[in-house]
Amino acid sequence: MKVDVLLGLQWGDEGKGKIVDVLTPRYDVVTRFQGGPNAGHTLEFNGEKYVLRSIPSGIFQGGKVNVIGNGVVLDPLLFKQEAEALAASGHDITKQLYISKKAHLILPTHRILDAAYEASKGSGKIGTTGKGIGPTYTDKISRNGVRVGDLLHNFSEKYAAAKARHEAILKSLNYQYDITALEKEWFDALEYLKQFKLIDSEHVINGFLKDGKSILAEGAQGTMLDIDFGSYPFVTSSNTICAGCCTGLGISPRSIGDVYGIFKAYCTRVGSGPFPTELFDETGDKIGALGHEFGAVTGRKRRCGWIDLVALRYAVMINGVTQLIMMKSDVLDSFDTIKACVAYKINGEETTEFPFEINDSVEPVYVEIPGWNTDMTKMTSEDEFPEEFNAYLTFLEEELGVPVKIVSVGPDREQTIIRYTEE
């Protein structure tokens, strides 16, 4: 069997959690392969809403195995809070969730370092989620990290060495902090973590594949936040692209099956960094209000703009997307006209290729598309789609060269329309 990958094609928050939950019944196993509690994946069903940060979004569908892979960075304290909240709402996940021993731990001082680095950047700050993601991946790459599996071997020494190093950096930055309370809670959470199956996930996952089990890998963040291909340096610190699934799970590129690329019918971004199609007018405010565009983790207002096909085409290329999933089209249900950016004008020259850097000289070139002006939120089949909506889908499929197989018309699990069902 293969691993199908679902990943964001924009700047995150495309609706990955919702669709992973919808697709989970088709799979035996769901995994996360990168990122950490910077993610906030929202699921809605049976009138309830859940936000998952480190736990895969397959956790609610009938006892499927969920795996936190080696490429993830895990904060035991935030993990404990997340798992306990699920338990309180009647979802005991201790039996179905496995955690890779090779996943790196986010230490209390990583969180402090994240804040200190941001403070030191002043107006050039990245606007991180403040969860210690960058410092933890930095330690991983510089070979100073502490891993989940270390809980079973010489943990105290490794922790003390990392903490001492972090404290020296914080001192050099002259950053004031007090981690006494946080550290105590964090150590309590480590004990909590030990009740989960801590596994050699690369062996387990390849074993699943050998046994004919189907696996869905859930990306976090989005392609435009990828450490290599995103809008550097305003990115996260992991490979959010499809290739990250191979290193983040320990599977061969030949094990990748379908690549589901998920995008909003418009575009959002949270935090700093370039965003060519950003709207600063009432249209942007309308999209933000109708789409409830506030961060699932930080509550920050998300910046809103029109769909950017230059960036999307780039994301389709980098990921080898085989199927597209369009989210939140309902947010555009009441627009007479919608716009799509098909090219960038850079110093007077038009290009459809995503440039090395996006700066102030990049101007979006738009086409205008008639809106469908129809409430689509109760639709259940593509047969009900208005003509203008079908025209928008056809336009996107031609621009991106990949079929749109799923359309989401509302946040609920049920508000999901699978297309081309006859195939």
From 69, 261, 271, 291, residue interacting with ligand IMO (rule: CB under 6 A)? 271
| Beta carbon nearer to Mg ion, 40 or 284 | 40
Is residue 292 part of the annotated active site? The answer reads no
- Tell me if 328 contacts ligand GDP by CB under 6 A: yes
Sign of the dihedral defined by the CA atoms of residues 381, 383, 386, 388, in that order: positive
From 16, 104, 339, 405, residue interacting with ligand GDP (rule: CB under 6 A)? 16
Phi, psi torsion values for 351, nearest 5 degrees: -140, 150
State the Cα–Cα distance between residues 59 and 199, nearest whole angstrom: 18
Widest distance between CA atoms in the chain:
65
- Tell me if 129 contacts ligand GDP by CB under 6 A: no
Is residue 114 part of the annotated active site? The answer reads no
CA distances from 190 to 78, 80, 105, 106, 196 (A): 11, 9, 10, 11, 11
Give kind and range of the element (H or E) at residue 288.
helix 282-290
Beta partners for 366?
341
Q: Binding mask 279-298 vs ligand IMO (x if CB under 6 A, - otherwise)?
A: -----------------x--
- Least separation in angstroms between CB 75 and ligand IMO: 12
- Least separation in angstroms between CB 204 and ligand IMO: 24
Q: Applying CB under 6 A, what is the total number of residues that bind ligand GDP?
A: 23
Pairing of strands 404-408, 416-418: antiparallel
| Beta carbon nearer to ligand IMO, 134 or 145 | 134
- In the chain, the amino acid numbered 136 is T
- Tell me if 270 contacts ligand IMO by CB under 6 A: yes
Catalytic, out of 4, 21, 41, 75: 41
Residue nearest to ligand GDP (CB): 42
- Tell me if 236 contacts ligand IMO by CB under 6 A: yes
- Tell me if 139 contacts ligand IMO by CB under 6 A: no
Q: Which two tokens stand for residue 263?
A: 């995008």
Pairing of strands 215-218, 3-8: parallel
- Tell me if 217 contacts ligand GDP by CB under 6 A: no
From 296, 311, 318, 396, residue interacting with Mg ion (rule: CB under 5 A)? 296
- Tell me if 56 contacts ligand IMO by CB under 6 A: no
Residue 217: CA atoms inside 13 Å, Cβ hemisphere, count? 33
Alpha helices in 51-179 (DSSP H): 76-88, 108-121, 133-141, 155-172
Binding site for ligand IMO (CB under 6 A): 8, 11-13, 38-41, 126-129, 131, 133-134, 220-222, 225, 234, 236-237, 270-271, 296
